[in-house]
């Protein structure tokens, strides 16, 4: 069995920087015609110059590719300059969560004037959506304040990134047309039991952490539902092996090598293979206003033996065999 469709768009991708960037970028370009690149480099992408330099590094690695750029929101963000440099999204990292520089992270309400300008200039607000585990009180703060902003700024498009909870799925369904969410292949496929079952697997450690089957079920239903406000963002986030062992393990999953095969499995299981193209290639582009592409990708029902190492990183599903592959992906 084969499946040919518009080459996908990844609405949430980490490419890192320096020597490792080129391998990660080439891998992504084999499977995705375009991707929105996250700004949590070290130091983060804050200014128009940072953004231009980062895009140049990516296009040097893969000249014929279309990276879409984002910046990290901070109170002095120069929105007109960022827009002129080609920024598509501003990323909000809430205080104390994930691998971002937290110095500029407060609450969304602290960025009122920046959000107003983003609305005016047509820049999407991308929200790191994570409910902190340690505090019931602030558990849904990020979600609640994002929804509040979607009402205060009705022309500001908001993407809740890598949603992982049933409550978040429901919130997006009920929110206005300006609110959408990305779903990752790993949150759709795995649960906390896979991550911390009989033995802890550091290669399944990500933020937000994997949840139980009830939540995974809600995410899966959303992915295959055909609702255009749920679309794919891989959150592929490679970390070199030394950061995945020891007493301080970094969150992040290198899913890029297997992300499309995993999605094909999921959509096949749900008897919804025909909905896969919309989820990975159509809805994200439409929400971001990105042109379609005539490039195609072909998936084939042929076993993929996942190596234990790809691009110097342990990929998701290392050592496993998956029923779907991307045809001739290495030649693209
Ligand atoms: O698991 C994650 N890793 N979640 C994020 O939001 C950031 C990412 C990274 O940059 O490693
Ligand atoms: Zn991410």
Is residue 322, in this structure, part of any structural domain at all?
no
Is residue 2, in this structure, part of any structural domain at all?
no
Ligand in nearest proximity to the CA of 12: 2
Task: Give me the pLDDT at residue 316, please.
Answer: 98
Average pLDDT for 67-93: 97
Average pLDDT for 145-168: 96
Best probe residue, ligand 1, of 235, 244, 314 (max atoms within 8 Å of C-beta): 235
Is residue 201, in this structure, part of any structural domain at all?
yes
Task: Give me the pLDDT at residue 331, please.
Answer: 43
pLDDT digits (tens, 9 = 90+) for 238-259: 999 999 999 999 999 999 999 9
- Tell me, using a 6 A CB cutoff, whether residue 187 lines ligand 1: no
The pLDDT of residue 222 is above 50: yes
Looking from the CA of residue 40, the nearest atom of ligand 1 is: 10
Ligand in nearest proximity to the CA of 238: 1
Is residue 161, in this structure, part of any structural domain at all?
yes
311 annotated active-site: no
Is residue 259, in this structure, part of any structural domain at all?
yes
Is residue 320, in this structure, part of any structural domain at all?
no
Q: Say what the pTM is.
A: 0.96
- Tell me, using a 6 A CB cutoff, whether residue 210 lines ligand 1: no
The pLDDT of residue 135 is above 80: no
Best probe residue, ligand 1, of 93, 251, 254 (max atoms within 8 Å of C-beta): 251
Cβ contact 315:254 at 8 Å: yes
70 band by pLDDT with thresholds 50, 70 and 90: very high
Q: Which bin fits 123, alpha (ψ -120 to 50), beta or left (φ > 0)? A: beta
- Tell me, using a 6 A CB cutoff, whether residue 128 lines ligand 1: yes
Range of the domain at 142: 8-291
Is residue 297, in this structure, part of any structural domain at all?
no
Q: Could you tell me which residues come within 8 angstroms of residue 157 by beta carbon, excluding any fewer than 6 positions away?
A: 124, 125, 178, 179, 180, 287, 288
Average pLDDT for 201-212: 96
pLDDT digits (tens, 9 = 90+) for 259-271: 999 999 999 999 9
End-to-end CA distance of the chain: 21
Best probe residue, ligand 1, of 11, 12, 14 (max atoms within 8 Å of C-beta): 14
The pLDDT of residue 104 is above 70: no
Number of domains into which the chain is organized: 1
The pLDDT of residue 98 is above 80: no
What separation in Å is there between the alpha carbon of 17 and the centre of ligand 1? 14
Looking from the CA of residue 128, the nearest atom of ligand 1 is: 6
| Three-state secondary-structure class, residue 56 | helix
Ligand in nearest proximity to the CA of 251: 1
Q: Report the share of the chain in percent with pLDDT over 70.
A: 94
> Rounded distance, CA 237 to CA 254, Å?
5
What separation in Å is there between the alpha carbon of 305 and the centre of ligand 1? 25
Catalytic member of 49, 235, 271, 311: 235
| Three-state secondary-structure class, residue 171 | helix
- The CATH number covering residue 61 comes to 3.20.20.140
Which residues face 230 on adjacent strands?
181
Is residue 51, in this structure, part of any structural domain at all?
yes
Q: Indicate the DSSP class of residue 280.
A: I
Looking from the CA of residue 97, the nearest atom of ligand 1 is: 6
Looking from the CA of residue 238, the nearest atom of ligand 1 is: 11
């Amino acid at each position: 069995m084969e499946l040919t469709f518009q080459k996908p768009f990844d609405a949430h991708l980490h490419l890192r920087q320096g020597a490792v960037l080129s391998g990660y970028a080439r891998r992504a370009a084999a499977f995705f015609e375009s991707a929105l690149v996250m700004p949590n480099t070290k130091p983060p992408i804050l200014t128009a110059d940072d953004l231009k330099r980062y895009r140049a590094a990516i296009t040097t690695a893969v000249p014929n590719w279309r990276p879409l750029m984002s910046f990290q929101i901070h109170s002095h963000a120069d929105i007109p300059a960022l827009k002129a440099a080609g920024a598509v999204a501003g990323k909000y990292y809430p205080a104390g969560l994930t691998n971002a520089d937290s110095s500029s992270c407060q609450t969304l309400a602290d960025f009122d004037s920046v959000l107003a300008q983003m609305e005016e200039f047509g820049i999407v607000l991308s929200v790191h959506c994570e409910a902190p585990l340690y505090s019931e009180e602030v558990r849904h703060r990020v979600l609640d304040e994002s929804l509040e902003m979607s009402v205060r700024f009705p022309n500001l498009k908001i993407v809740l990134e890598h949603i992982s909870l049933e409550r978040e799925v429901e919130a997006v369904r009920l929110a206005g047309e300006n609110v959408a969410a990305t779903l990752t292949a790993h949150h759709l496929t795995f649960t906390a039991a896979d991550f911390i079952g009989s033995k802890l697997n550091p290669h399944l450690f990500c933020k937000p952490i994997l949840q139980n089957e009830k939540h995974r079920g809600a995410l899966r239903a959303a992915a295959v539902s055909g609702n255009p406000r749920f679309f794919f963002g891989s959150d592929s986030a490679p970390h070199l092996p030394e950061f995945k062992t020891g007493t301080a393990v970094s969150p992040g999953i290198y899913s890029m090598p297997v992300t499309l095969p995993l999605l094909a499995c999921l959509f096949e299981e749900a008897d919804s293979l025909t909905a896969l193209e919309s989820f990975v290639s159509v809805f994200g582009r439409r929400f971001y206003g990105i042109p379609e592409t005539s490039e195609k990708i072909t998936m084939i029902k042929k076993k993929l033996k996942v190596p234990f190492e790809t691009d110097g990183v342990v990929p998701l599903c290392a050592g496993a065999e998956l029923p779907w592959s991307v045809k001739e992906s290495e030649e693209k």
